[in-house]
Structure 1
Amino acid sequence: MEKNKIVTITKKVGDNMVEFYIKYKAVHDLPVNNLPKFYSFGVPTYTNLGDQAVSLAQKKYIEHEFPEYQFIEILEDDNDEAIEIVKRVIKSGDIVSFVGGGNMGSLYTDHEEARRKVFSTFVDNLTISFPQSIHFEDNEHGKAEEKLSQEAYAKNSHLFLVARDAQSYHRMQTTFENKVLFTPDMVLYMKPVEHNVKKESTLIVLRHDSEKVVKQETVDAIKKLLSKNKSVAETDTVLDTVERITPVNREKLFKDELELFAKQEIIVTDRWHAMVFSVLTGTPCLLFGNSYGKGKHAYFDWLEHINWVSYTDEDDFERIQSQINKLKRVETHKYDIKDDFNQLRHIIQLNSNKYGF
């Protein structure tokens, strides 16, 4: 087979063609060559920079750790059509994956339905569900969704689920029959970034969805405290300045967000990835919880040893104030959690060795 030959197998979906992203370029035709493929399904186009950073980190991880694979990203919009296309060309040594971050479970059923389709389709290939949390609600809806996922996941004996916190690790093990790995959130694979910028303000980064649990009176008291010394801005990791994010504009927006975080004296947030961005930029950060504890558990699993970030469940303002003042005084230090990705690295390496890549 010719190395650079292109096979035209896409089909029209309304007025659009399915897009596959290789490097940072969108193509409508999958390349046919001798390279093993690493298919990444479920890549988001919505404007949550936390989830976008997860996709970017996965790409960098595979391209850096396993350059023998040709990494191909598939947008969530094209999931169903892309499944049919990939089915026609996939080879035994290729790897299928579904994007991490977000939440496996009943809170976001569109994502869970897409995940089921991918896992139950490519049952003969190594399949990886990249690191994420899990939460099936304890009600009729949650139990019904859980059963559907159990049935779909059980069809794939080559499926590895990867949990990014200990609570999710335990829940995945007790919910599914599939193998479960324990690995940090993929964004923590990214290298720290130094910014020589002035700490000109403070930033409050809070959710505006059903996961929010921080009381407004607590937020108001924190604003009053922080505004004594610096200007206080409020934002979210969900951008309202763009309508759609793809692998073409994703990295620039991510770098812009890190620069924003680097300019802050302190970050107060209930967004897990806002804390991760603070880790990457060496910015003091206080993290509050969400409705099912994903940030709390991931913090204590991976970040408790990093002294410029901290977690709290407090609603006693004096204790919150003490934590904030302490964080402002700490100095950054080196950290390295690359070895915590070894479980993930091992299963991919086994696949490479098995097929002689």
Structure 2
Amino acid sequence: MTDFYIETTKADKTLPINSRPKFFAFGIPSYTNLGDQAVSLAQRAYIEHEFPEFQYIEILEEDNDAGIEAVKKIITSQDIVSFVGGGNMGNLYLDHERARRKVFSTFVNNLTISFPQSIHFEDNEQGQREQKLSQEAYQKNPHLVLIARDAQSYHRMQTTFNNHVIFTPDMVLYFKAVDYSLKRSGALFVLRHDGEKVVKESLIGSIKQLLDNGRPLKKTDTVLDSVDRITPINREKLIVDELKLFSQQEIIITDRWHAMVFSVLTGTPCLLFGNSYGKGKHAYFDWLEHIDWIGYTDEEDLDRIDQQISKLIKTKKHAYDIRADFKQLDSLIKYHLEMSGRNI
């Protein structure tokens, strides 16, 4: 039986039948990447806070096919279909891309939103083949709107697909800053262990030596190994626990985009390194360069890295506001409500 998360306290086995417009959120992860889980949490928060007219319904990616069949039976013209953001549109994670294609090519009569993504089809035979399959699937939906979360992806989506493309930050940046008032001590290394990793272990080892001057050094990942499965029921507590962990650090060293976002939210100094296709770098310069306690580097020179880390640690926190950068998404949904005859 398919689980539908209409609330975050329980799973329902049936979809609601009522007059409220529905916002169907497909692709919700159950795997343990807290960055992707935070995206799902932020999407719900965004719709529930900004557009409470909608009944928000999450469908786990593992239930994609059964969920599609159930939604087809009740969907109306006032409803919106979406696919989760935060991941990667392309051929690196094909299970996600296949699920995305099926959703987009099924609900061709409804506004369909692909929440903020990066995009990367590899420049090889497989990448070109999968890109063509995605182009064919996306093209079937004239009401599909793709959202890019960095300028590089915005350009690539525009040149790859014929669908409408808009530009907003990653959804996790919709959240306001948090202050847990915790004592800070030590450096936390939050590093990838997948195919996107490009930072050399020798460089990380040298940075650890730089920071190892009586300061405790810890390592973690935003992919948890302490739980087997995350759903809308337990994800918020796990994300809050991660934010509290970040709030106790003097500095974060990471090559994970969402580790940097967690550092933004908690006011934690952070130095971000790149990944294999530049999503963190481009999104940093698009949205976060003005936040003084966050930095990006491609450097391998230890002296320069040391200077940058020292500066970040000493930087005072300041107010920031990214909310206005979601205005294109706001306008898209407001227009849909107007065309559906709903007062906003």
Bin of the TM-score, shorter chain as denominator length: over 0.9
Per-residue CA deviations over 1:92-123 (Å, capped at 9, x if unaligned) read 01000000011000100000000000000000
| Amino acid across the alignment from 2:37 | Q
Residue aligning to 1:311:
296
Residue aligning to 1:117:
102
Distance 1:225 1:199 in 2: 18
The two structures have a TM-score, normalised by structure 1, of: 0.95
Deviation at 1:229, TM superposition (A): 3.4
| Amino acid across the alignment from 1:182 | F
Distance 1:180 1:160 in 2: 6
Per-residue CA deviations over 1:147-178 (Å, capped at 9, x if unaligned) read 00000000000000000000000000000000
| Amino acid across the alignment from 2:65 | D
Distance 2:214 2:176 in 1: 31
Distance 1:28 1:84 in 2: 13
Residue aligning to 2:326:
341
Deviation at 1:201, TM superposition (A): 2.0
- Aligned partner of residue 11 in structure 2, secondary structure: strand
Residue aligning to 2:177:
192
Pick from 89, 111, 115 the counterpart of residue 126 of structure 1.
Answer: 111
Pick from 220, 224, 242 the counterpart of residue 239 of structure 1.
Answer: 224
Compute the RMSD of aligned alpha carbons. 0.5
For structure 1, the residue ranges without an aligned partner over 5 or more in a row are: 1-16
| Amino acid across the alignment from 1:217 | S
For structure 2, the residue ranges without an aligned partner over 5 or more in a row are: none
| Amino acid across the alignment from 1:245 | I
The two structures have a TM-score, normalised by structure 2, of: 0.99
Deviation at 1:274, TM superposition (A): 0.2
Per-residue CA deviations over 1:162-195 (Å, capped at 9, x if unaligned) read 0000000000000000000000000000010001
* 1:32-111 matched pairs, under 5 angstroms: 32-111=17-96
Distance 1:152 1:253 in 2: 35
* 1:213-292 matched pairs, under 5 angstroms: 213-292=198-277
* 1:289-300 matched pairs, under 5 angstroms: 289-300=274-285
Distance 2:170 2:122 in 1: 22
Distance 1:229 1:166 in 2: 41
Distance 2:296 2:185 in 1: 23
Deviation at 1:225, TM superposition (A): 1.4
Deviation at 1:87, TM superposition (A): 0.4
Bigger CA drift: 22-31 or 39-48?
A: 22-31
* 1:22 and 2:1 correspond: no
- Aligned partner of residue 47 in structure 1, secondary structure: coil
| Amino acid across the alignment from 1:344 | L
Distance 2:22 2:186 in 1: 45
Residue aligning to 1:183:
168
- Aligned partner of residue 323 in structure 1, secondary structure: helix
Residue aligning to 1:325:
310
Distance 2:86 2:196 in 1: 15
Distance 2:87 2:316 in 1: 31
| Amino acid across the alignment from 1:155 | K
Deviation at 1:217, TM superposition (A): 1.1
| Amino acid across the alignment from 1:22 | I
